Amino acid sequence: MLSKIKIKNYALINELEIDFNSGFSAITGETGAGKSIILGALGLTLGERLDGAVLNEASEKCVIETWFGIKELNLQSFFVEHELDYESESILRREILPSGKSRAFINDTPVSLAILKQLSEKLIDVHSQHQTLLLNTNEYQLSIVDANAKNYELKKEFKLEFEVYKKLKSELENLKEKEAKLKSDLDYFQFQFDELDALNLEGVHQEEMQEEFDLLNNAEFIKASFNKAFELLDNELGIISQLQDVSHSLSSVSDSSKKTKEIYERIQSSLIELEDVKSEIEETNEDIVFDSDRIEVLTEKLNLLQAAFQKHRTESVSELIEVRNGIEENLVLASNFDSEIEKLSGKVTESYTLVEKTGGKLTKSRTAVFKSIESEINEMLVGLGMKDAQIQLKIENKTEYSPNGIDSIQFLFKANKGGSFNPIAKVASGGELSRLMLCIKTNLAQKKQLPSLIFDEIDTGVSGDIASKMAEMMRKISANSQVLAITHLPQIASKGDSHFKVYKTTDEYATYTKMKVLDKESRVVEIAKMLSGSVISDAALDNAKALLRS
């Protein structure tokens, strides 16, 4: 149950701290006193998104904390799953900084709004005018049926199977799209592959080819240079001949000292090296033959290679090999698409069969509780003065499955005997909607076992004896769940086990919203004021006492 709320620096609230009791509590206050402000602050700790500026003092942060007793709710697994500290009285906190940024905490551990909302949905249900509008939506009506059918585990199983099916179906669609694209480009890929394959890239040595090309292309100039070099080395006045004379001159003195011997040996070594160079020049010169046919072959190969580099934006043969291999993989993939698609199609079919099977169980489980829901709510409507009003549940199959199944459920309503059933939004008045929503909340409180419920002016459009009957229904709910009812009706306020008043107070600087619990005497005055207005008569006081005694 909600045991306490503490609000600091939120809208018209400077600082407020209030403790709540179990059972049925009424919350009253004049229009504009700030009841919706307190409810808005509570909503922020339940994971609602921040909407607009909320700070009372712009330079300070806003802090809102709610305490919930959760000892009997078996929520330990939720705390373990989300790595949170479990406390039998847990604190949900929301902070809004002056910068506008928001932070959420559970027992002082930072959490996302999604996790905060997941926990709060297990703790409290807040009924507002917005929820009355939700009654007209298929999703909300479906949630009512599922709560009655206790479909939590079945829905969880279906959702997992549906997610697997959607994933497989998406993979199949992507594979088919890829197949279509690849097959449309298949001829082009084959052309590219054949073009690269014809280059025999594994046997291509670009640097060697370029070197041979350069050599052949400059054969005449190279031969002339080699001939001249050979002549300079080998004629009577050539380098070798002169170096032999030098060697001969030094041979006679080579043994005269260590130094002269070393010089002589170096001359001999140079002669041997030059003789070797002369032989290589001679051999190489003989090998160099201008071959126009070979030049043409090399030119063609190098041009094809260069064109391939430019076309595929590469700079080396190894990169071209990678491109060719990639194209080859696409060709192989394209040829294997049919078998891959067939295999994946089989998985999609199997998955869809499971979805249909579990979806069928969901449909059967839902339709099985239609009569009990209709009976319970119709009986409660009679108790609220709508003796001829009835609801009827209708189910249809949607065109395809969604995470909630294939069922489209609609609550139909008729207010009068002999009338026809129509969608609630088309035929129910404001007062009828309020009573109908209270009946549904009563039904859900019994089925979902919600620890706490807040009714925000669910009594709209009703008064007198009907209001008293609505109050009795809230008291009945409060036997198993904590109930807080924000109301303008004395018939409802008087039935509460506790009574809180929201009011405004003003000092020399500003106006503030406050909240307090009323004692017995203050409660009589408050209910009398609700009966007669600002001027409280003796009759109003007597009526207030009578309402409280009843």
Q: Average pLDDT in the 293-310 region?
A: 76
Which residues touch 16 (CB under 8 Å, ≥6 apart)?
5, 6, 7, 8, 38, 513, 514, 515
Residues linked to residue 266 through DSSP beta bridges, in sequence order: none
| 306 to 196, 210, 289, 303, 320: CA distances (angstroms) | 12, 12, 26, 5, 11
Residue indicated by tokens 């799953």: 81
Residue indicated by tokens 């698609």: 341
Residue 292: its pLDDT value, please? 65
Residue 92: its pLDDT value, please? 97
Q: Sketch out the chain's domains with CATH numbers.
A: 1-123+451-518 (3.40.50.300), 189-313 (no CATH)
Residue 522: its pLDDT value, please? 94
Rounded distance, CA 474 to CA 453, Å? 10
pLDDT confidence bin for 329, thresholds 50/70/90: confident
Q: Average pLDDT in the 478-484 region?
A: 91
| 32 to 5, 27, 38, 285, 536: CA distances (angstroms) | 20, 14, 12, 110, 21
pLDDT confidence bin for 219, thresholds 50/70/90: low
Residue indicated by tokens 């050599």: 215
Residue 311: its pLDDT value, please? 84
Q: Is the pLDDT of residue 289 over 70?
A: no
Q: Is residue 186 within 8 Å of residue 331, measured between CB atoms?
A: yes
478 or 191, higher pLDDT: 478
pLDDT tens digit sequence for 233-282: 887 778 888 888 888 888 878 788 888 888 888 988 888 888 888 888 87
pTM for this model (two decimals): 0.66
SS3 163: helix
490 or 249, higher pLDDT: 490
Rounded distance, CA 179 to CA 185, Å? 10
Range of 49-63, 189-203, 490-504 with top mean pLDDT = 490-504
Residue indicated by tokens 């998955």: 351
Strands 124-127 and 109-111: unpaired
